[in-house]
Amino acid sequence: MSEDLKGLTGEIVTPEDPRYEQARQEWNRAIQKFPLVIVYCLEIKDVQNAIRWARKNKAEIRIRSGGHHYEGYSVGNGVLVIDISRLTRIDMHEGQRLVKIQSGVKNKELYEALGSRGYPFPGGTCPTVGVCGYVLGGGWGMSTRLFGLGSDQLLEIEIVNYKGKLLTCSEEKNKDLFWALRGAGGGNFGVVVSMTFRLPPKVDKVSLVQVYAPESSKAQQESFLTVWQEWLKKLDIRMTINVSIYNSEEEGLGIFGRGLFYGDTETASKLLQPFADIGLQITVRHLTFLEAVTAVMNDYPPFEKFQSTGRFVHRDFDNKEIRKIAGTIQKPADGSVFTAVTVYALGGRVSEISRKESAFYFRDARYIMGIQTVWTDDAFEKVNQDWLYPRFQYIRSVTKGSFVNFPYDRLGNYEKAYYGGNAEKLRKINREYDPHNVFTFPQGIKG
């Protein structure tokens, strides 16, 4: 090891290493950053040494677990990346009804460990998203209306702070930090090395539901948005779905959505009848939880080039607004292969918990509305990014608050947008737990 890297432990990858090219990649391949060094941590000591080394050498730190940050804030140019993806232990304690995971565990691994024993979990939809990265931003999944957000299941977090010290956070210990980590924890306060969750009750089978309208039209997409906003108000909390109205190079306009219902197929079909009434095909399958989430996860490609972001919706849209929202995707950017507006159901358990309970502020939102564009050829990157901006600005003008798990580089006033009325308290906690801003990134909390 070169003299400069002395003090770093774990698996170390520098630009001269043949593994570097792969190691610096994020899931979003539109992000191309060139870190100074990437440290794959194999034990907690490696995390502690990396933090001490970065401080001594005045290197900026980025923390990476699954590498799915939309804007690539888990890497950067000239930074030290503390990569914890090799910390993948899962310890089940069924007697105590809890599971402890190390912070490199991915959605798929947790689902397999829990699902094979009959437990569901309100994790995410993409197999390779890091559970910790997901949970630190709140975490929306297809069980969210019934069980709450991923972060609502947390009992305890272990984190390495700016001094390299391991802290335990819970309702009893470091309570304010525990509060902050549940919704605003990504990259801000230290390196989370483990999370302990309460286990939901076992389930035998769930209904995997699907709504689909290939060869759709703008009028049908508008009808969908109109029906959706009414439908969601009275929806059984056992159902959580997300649905995209899309415009794809291959298929043209369409509508596609999926979700879970913790109940029988007949009731699930009845609940979806308003969508059948406007011409969507409804499919419902009775599966184990693991089979159902695996079917959802299998749809993800290994990576993409995209820009995407998401806002919280608190009110009904009128016809004119619905026309404008559906209008955003009718003319995709040059080189776009897929563009969509996606709605993610909230409510249920999420809104029963007070916004003061954790850093996740927008609990009263009815749903999240995301917008995205995907391209394959780098030549179209800028035109796609510029395409998204004015459309996002419109959606921003009719919504309140941005989902930190669907972040956007060009957001502006981001602390307020992500954390609403909790932003000030978060700054205070940040000043206390990271007084020198050792953990920083382009949209970090500035204590």
Ligand X SMILES: Cc1cc2nc3c(=O)[nH]c(=O)nc-3n(C[C@H](O)[C@H](O)[C@H](O)COP(=O)(O)OP(=O)(O)OC[C@H]3O[C@@H](n4cnc5c(N)ncnc54)[C@H](O)[C@@H]3O)c2cc1C
Strand partners, 356: none
Considering the complex, state which of residue 134 and residue 179 has its C-beta at the smaller distance from ligand X: 134
Q: Does 350 bind ligand X (CB under 6 A)?
A: no
Q: How far apart are the C-alpha atoms of 95 and 50, rounded to whole Å? A: 36
CB of 100 to ligand X, least distance (A): 14
Residues 426-445 that bind ligand X (CB under 6 A): 441
- Angle formed by the axes of helices 381-397 and 319-327, to 10°? 170
With residue 261 as reference, give the H or E element that holds it: strand 252-261
Choose the binding region for ligand X from 129-137, 168-176, 205-213, 410-418 (rule: CB under 6 A): 129-137
Choose the binding region for ligand X from 138-146, 213-221, 324-332, 386-394 (rule: CB under 6 A): 138-146
Q: DSSP characters for 177-218?
A: HHHHHHHH-TTTSSEEEEEEEEPPPP-S-EEEEEEEESS--H
Strand partners, 129: none
Exactly one of 9, 49, 103, 339 binds ligand X (CB under 6 A); which one?
Answer: 103
Going by C-alpha positions, the residue among 421, 430, 443 that lies closest to residue 358 is 421
Q: Does 66 bind ligand X (CB under 6 A)?
A: yes
- Please count the other Cβ atoms lying within 10 Å of the Cβ belonging to residue 319: 10
Q: Does 361 bind ligand X (CB under 6 A)?
A: no
Considering the complex, state which of residue 137 and residue 322 has its C-beta at the smaller distance from ligand X: 137
Q: How far apart are the C-alpha atoms of 84 and 193, rounded to whole Å? A: 8
* Assigned token pair, 332: 């995709």
Type of residue found at 257:
G
Q: Does 9 bind ligand X (CB under 6 A)?
A: no
x/- mask, ligand X, residues 186-205, rule CB under 6 A, reads: xx---xx-------------
Exactly one of 23, 50, 105, 132 binds ligand X (CB under 6 A); which one?
Answer: 132
CB of 94 to ligand X, least distance (A): 25
CB of 102 to ligand X, least distance (A): 9
- Alpha-carbon dihedral sign for residues 253, 329, 367, 223: negative
CB of 144 to ligand X, least distance (A): 9
Residues within the interface to ligand X (CB under 6 A): 27, 62-70, 73-74, 84, 103, 124-126, 129-130, 132-134, 136-137, 139-141, 185-187, 191-192, 300, 405, 441
